[in-house]
């Protein structure tokens, strides 16, 4: 057995390490320096249609885009 001094050291590390990491990463300075600098998602993210009318309109729009793209490809070749 290693003795009580080793157990005391291990106990101190087990207690000190989580407290020290919470102190460091929870400090407002850390937040201002590292977290606030992260870019946010763009404000103009597309909205997913959630009712039948919007879904049908979106399907019509996609179908029209697909047909226009197909017509452009057939005239180019």
Q: What are the structural domain ranges in the chain? A: 4-76
Q: Is the pLDDT of residue 1 over 70?
A: no
Q: How far is the C-alpha of 57 from the C-alpha of 4, rounded, in Å? A: 74
Can you give the pLDDT at residue 21? 95
* Least confident interval from 34-43, 57-66, 68-77: 34-43
H helix runs in 1-77, sequence order: 4-25, 28-30, 52-76
Q: Three-state SS for 14?
A: helix
CA angle 55, 61, 64 (to 5 degrees): 140
Dihedral over alpha carbons 66, 67, 70, 71 (to 10 degrees): -150
More confident residue, 42 or 52: 52
Distance of CA 44 to the CA centre of its chain: 16
pLDDT grade for 35, boundaries at 50, 70 and 90: confident
Report yes or no on whether pTM surpasses 0.85.
Answer: no
Can you give the pLDDT at residue 47? 81
């Amino acid at each position: 057995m290693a003795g009580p001094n080793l157990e005391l050291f291990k106990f101190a590390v087990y207690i000190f390490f989580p407290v020290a990491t919470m102190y460091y990463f929870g400090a407002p300075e850390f937040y201002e320096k590292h977290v606030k600098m992260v870019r946010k998602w763009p404000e103009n993210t597309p909205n997913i249609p959630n009712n039948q009318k919007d879904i049908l309109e979106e399907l019509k729009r996609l179908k029209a885009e697909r047909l226009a793209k197909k017509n452009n490809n057939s005239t180019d070749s």
